[in-house]
Amino acid sequence: MELVAGANTIIPTSPINIEIQFFGVEASELDFSAYSLAENAKVRGDDDMIFYGQLHNKAQTIQLTQAIASVSFQINLAEISPQINKIAICATLADERKNFSSVNHLNIRIKNPDTIATSKISGQNRSEVALIIGEFYRYGQNWKFRLISQGFNGGLKSLAEYFGVDIADDQPPHQESPPINIPPITSNAAPNITNALKDLLLSPMKLIEKRKKQKEFQLQLNQYLLNGKLTHQEMQQLDEFCIKHELDKQQLFKQSSQPIHNFLHFTLANIIADHIVSKDEEELINDLCDYFKPDQNVISEIKTTIQRVNNIAKIKKGDVHPIQTDEIVTKNSELIYLHQRNVLFTVRRKNSNKSERYWGDLFITSERIIYKSDKPKNILISNIISYESNKNYIFITSKTANNSGEFDVGKDADLVEAYIEQSVKRFHRQIDLRQSTNNTRHITQEIRNTVWQRCNGRCVECSSTSYLEFDHIIPFSKGGSNSENNIQLLCRACNLSKSDRI
């Protein structure tokens, strides 16, 4: 749908992108911002304003991504605070001596991920310095987008104050031009907003040059990150650029937190793809964390993930300790390695869609896999033909058909598989069986890079950027290949909940 000024369209209540391409000006000359507005059409405080100095709000429901000749706002409408009624998308010229007639045109596209609406705003004969491009607004239980294409001759200060931003005036007062064709709004102004916005209004020429260098830094950083690696030489170049132009490197990293977090998650997904993290790999990602100093929750996630992966690798190598329990009877020489509670076993009746479900406890010993429930099983290690974990299931094939089956062990499926593997290898003295191996499942670095870029570094199901895994769309156990068309990105939660039936 092509929108003209004043037109509106319904927007799905889900994560959407509004992409804005600009033509005729450089990136350093034009700024984009988003204002989250309460019922009184005013911002409530700092967190309701997104611009180049604050690229996302605390909840990360609105995020700004900047490129060479375009910007993109990622907005998760379903998670927007119920106190917010509108989200205004705006553009301002850094040099208030110019106006939007210096801009050839803006191309606007709203996606989800398919295109929902497009529009073109021409700069011809425009006198505004600040422009309200459009607004997302609540409409009953839904959201709509209206193209406004109107603004202010007075620039950023007029725009900000219109939305309730209270900026102390450190400069001599001057006459502000009134807004163009925008109805007045009466309400109390919001509290004083972040100093970063105030700085935009001081020493314009010096500030424009500084911002130009900041954007050069961010564009160079983004280019390095898109390559999937950051070398020590590239780090040194970024450091030297900041020193030369007197830039605050850590502040710039905070402004680029989203691409940095995506890069760290990509690095993490790469080093755990072969199910073991070497000392060199761990040092690599620790060095990156020391350099970027990301949020503590990102560092915690990285450490927890590495610890889990390496713990499972140790178990598979036989580094386990027997446990004691009186819940099952064992032979004199039999050792118990694992007791997994609340395991679901499903029995599907032949020639029928009906099935029976049983809950019980799973025990892995040096000689058996024991399932203690109303439908008990006693699988001898010597009779196991193959085994595999897939999502939250363990699949076991035994020489005795009645003892074969699939067990839903929840999020610990890979951990349970590791204990089975070490028991089997101990029993057979390292004789290989027809089990899954890292080599057959191995996804090449080239394919991982392609898939990551195709999925934009996000889970294809919920758009999360946390604990991402490379997933076979058609499960490997069901004949799925390692080609890029059969690989996608899923967060761990979505990966575990994904159905294994195709």
Q: Are residues 175 and 28 in the same domain?
A: yes
CATH number of domain containing 348 = 2.30.29.30
Structural domains of the chain, count = 4
pLDDT digits (tens, 9 = 90+) for 319-342: 888 999 989 988 888 999 999 999
Q: Are residues 403 and 469 in the same domain?
A: no
Domain boundary among 167, 197, 227: 197
In this structure, of 352-361, 432-441, 486-495, the range with the lowest mean pLDDT score is 432-441
Q: Are residues 452 and 397 in the same domain?
A: no
Q: Are residues 17 and 158 in the same domain?
A: yes
Among 210, 56, 284, 124, which Cα is nearest to 218's?
Answer: 210
In this structure, of 132-146, 355-369, 459-473, the range with the lowest mean pLDDT score is 459-473
Q: Are residues 64 and 172 in the same domain?
A: yes
Residue 465 placed within a domain: yes
Q: Are 48 and 37 in contact (CB under 8 A)?
A: yes
Distance (Å, whole) CA 189 – CA 251: 28
- Please give the residue that has the higher pLDDT: either 238 or 27: 238
Q: Are residues 113 and 143 in the same domain?
A: yes
pLDDT in the model for residue 481: 79
**Mean of the pLDDT values across residues 195-221?**
68
Q: In terms of C-beta density within 10 A (0-12 exposed, 13-18 middle, 19 or more buried), how is residue 82 classed?
A: exposed
Domain that holds residue 40: 8-197
pLDDT in the model for residue 98: 86
Q: Are 101 and 124 in contact (CB under 8 A)?
A: yes
Tokens of 241: 């650029």
Domain boundary among 145, 163, 197: 197
pLDDT in the model for residue 183: 44
**3-state SS of the chain: helix, strand, coil percent to 5?**
35, 30, 35
Q: Are residues 252 and 374 in the same domain?
A: no
Q: Are 18 and 91 in contact (CB under 8 A)?
A: no
pLDDT in the model for residue 351: 67
Q: Are residues 226 and 166 in the same domain?
A: no
Residue 295 is classified by DSSP as -
User: Does 109 have pLDDT greater than 90?
Assistant: yes
pLDDT digits (tens, 9 = 90+) for 476-487: 666 677 788 888
pLDDT in the model for residue 167: 59
Local confidence band at 434 (pLDDT 50, 70, 90 cut-offs): very low
How does the average pLDDT of the chain come out, rounded? 83
Distance (Å, whole) CA 445 – CA 281: 15
Residue 315 placed within a domain: no
**Mean of the pLDDT values across residues 278-306?**
93
Q: Are residues 410 and 454 in the same domain?
A: no
- Please give the residue that has the higher pLDDT: either 196 or 287: 287
Q: Are residues 140 and 185 in the same domain?
A: yes
* DSSP β-bridge partners for residue 56: 63
Residue 19 placed within a domain: yes
Distance (Å, whole) CA 120 – CA 1: 12
Distance (Å, whole) CA 321 – CA 270: 30
Q: What percent of the chain has pLDDT over 70?
A: 86
| C-alpha torsion sign, points 447, 448, 450, 454 | positive
**Mean of the pLDDT values across residues 194-218?**
65
3-state secondary structure of 411: helix
pLDDT digits (tens, 9 = 90+) for 6-39: 999 999 988 999 999 999 888 778 889 999 999 9
pLDDT in the model for residue 173: 43
Distance of CA 62 to the CA centre of its chain: 13
Q: Are residues 226 and 342 in the same domain?
A: no
Domain boundary among 164, 197, 230: 197
Q: Are 105 and 123 in contact (CB under 8 A)?
A: yes
pLDDT in the model for residue 379: 92
Torsions phi, psi for 90 (to 5 deg):
-130, 165
The string of DSSP letters for 199-244 reads HHTSSHHHHHHHHHHHHHHHHHHHHHHHTT---HHHHHHHHHHHHH
User: Does 259 have pLDDT greater than 60?
Assistant: yes
pLDDT in the model for residue 8: 93
Contacts of 107 (CB under 8 A, 6+ apart): 20, 21, 23, 118, 119, 120
Local confidence band at 412 (pLDDT 50, 70, 90 cut-offs): confident
In this structure, of 205-214, 332-341, 373-382, the range with the lowest mean pLDDT score is 205-214
pLDDT in the model for residue 206: 61
Residue 322 placed within a domain: no
- Please give the residue that has the higher pLDDT: either 282 or 432: 282
Q: Are residues 284 and 383 in the same domain?
A: no
CATH number of domain containing 108 = 2.60.60.30
Contacts of 33 (CB under 8 A, 6+ apart): 49, 50, 51, 89, 90, 91, 92
pLDDT in the model for residue 198: 57
Distance (Å, whole) CA 444 – CA 437: 15
In this structure, of 122-126, 279-283, 301-305, 348-352, the range with the lowest mean pLDDT score is 348-352
Count CB-CB contacts under 10 A for residue 439: 7
Q: Are 424 and 432 in contact (CB under 8 A)?
A: no
User: Does 155 have pLDDT greater than 90?
Assistant: no
Residue 404 placed within a domain: yes
Residue 54 is classified by DSSP as B
Residue 313 placed within a domain: no
- Helix ranges (H only) for 245-378 are 249-255, 257-271, 279-292, 296-316
Residue 268 placed within a domain: yes
pLDDT in the model for residue 190: 46
| C-alpha torsion sign, points 64, 20, 197, 138 | negative
User: Does 203 have pLDDT greater than 60?
Assistant: no
Residue 445 placed within a domain: yes
pLDDT in the model for residue 309: 92
pLDDT in the model for residue 464: 79
User: Does 500 have pLDDT greater than 50?
Assistant: no
